[in-house]
Amino acid sequence: MMLLLDSAPHDFIMNHQEDDLEALKPFVHRTFNGNDFIQFIKSLNHIYKSHNGLEAVFAKHTTPDSLQTSIHHFKNYFFEIEHLPRTKKHVSDPLKNSAAKRINMFLRWMVRQDNVGVDFGIWDSLSPSQLSCPLDVHSGNVARKLGLLNRKQNDAKSLNELDSSLRELDTKDPVKYDFALFGLGVFEGF
């Protein structure tokens, strides 16, 4: 994917010509195909040119302790231009009960700053206190074993429950526990 974007994704998104998109058509990764890839390029270009970028879109609809509504509005902005209906399945919506794992992971990288280079912390209009743990099978199972989560599904309701539990441990940086939850599940077999 990076090679197709000339190893300069932002530059490609902002400055591509219609002809440049032809090279993306053969791309396939699981259910994400070249047409989806092209739509992502066009939608990101639209967000940067019409809405002042991703950070501004996510910052516009925040609540004091959550970005889940922001994710919902991001999806609306992302698909406000003409798009293939099939591409919508690649962008989660917490207001439709998705845990939105990938988007929450992205937000963690962009908002939270750490000392080991995992989280970039380059966005300053959002706070780590608003972040949600990227909930997946591993972090969910460990959270259940530790009594941080009771709900059996890994959906938006479970994410909200896990958020509440993690905020009791640290209101300013509840997502700092993500790697421990994930790591115990994957690497330690907890």
Instruction: Report pLDDT for 53.
Output: 98
Q: Report d(CA 43, CA 108) in Å as an integer.
A: 21
CA dihedral 15, 117, 123, 156 (to 10 degrees): 100
Residue 52, in any domain of the structure: no
Query: How many Cβ atoms are within 10 Å of 53's Cβ, its own excluded?
Result: 15
30 is a domain residue: no
In a domain, 19, yes or no: no
pTM across the whole model = 0.94
Asked if the structure places residue 121 within a domain, the reply is yes
Alpha helices in the chain (DSSP H): 9-15, 34-50, 54-60, 68-78, 101-111, 137-145, 156-169, 178-186
Query: What's the confidence (pLDDT) of residue 60?
Result: 97
Q: Tens of pLDDT along 112-169?
A: 999 888 899 999 999 999 999 999 999 999 999 999 999 999 999 999 999 999 999 9
Q: Which residues on adjacent β-strands are paired with residue 33?
A: 28
Let me know the angle formed at the C-alpha of 23 by 18 and 28, rounded to the nearest 5 degrees.
Answer: 120
Q: What is the CA radius of gyration of the chain?
A: 18
- Domain around 144: 92-186
How many residues are there in the chain? 190
Residue 40 domain flag = no
DSSP helix/strand/coil, 41: helix
Residue 156 lies in a domain: yes
In the chain, the number of structural domains is 1
Within 10 Å of residue 2's Cβ, how many Cβ atoms? 9
pLDDT digits (tens, 9 = 90+) for 24-66: 999 999 999 999 999 999 999 999 999 999 999 999 999 999 9
Extended strands (E) in the chain = 28-29, 32-33
Q: Is residue 21 in a domain?
A: no
Half-sphere exposure of 85 (CA within 13 A, CB side): 0
In a domain, 77, yes or no: no
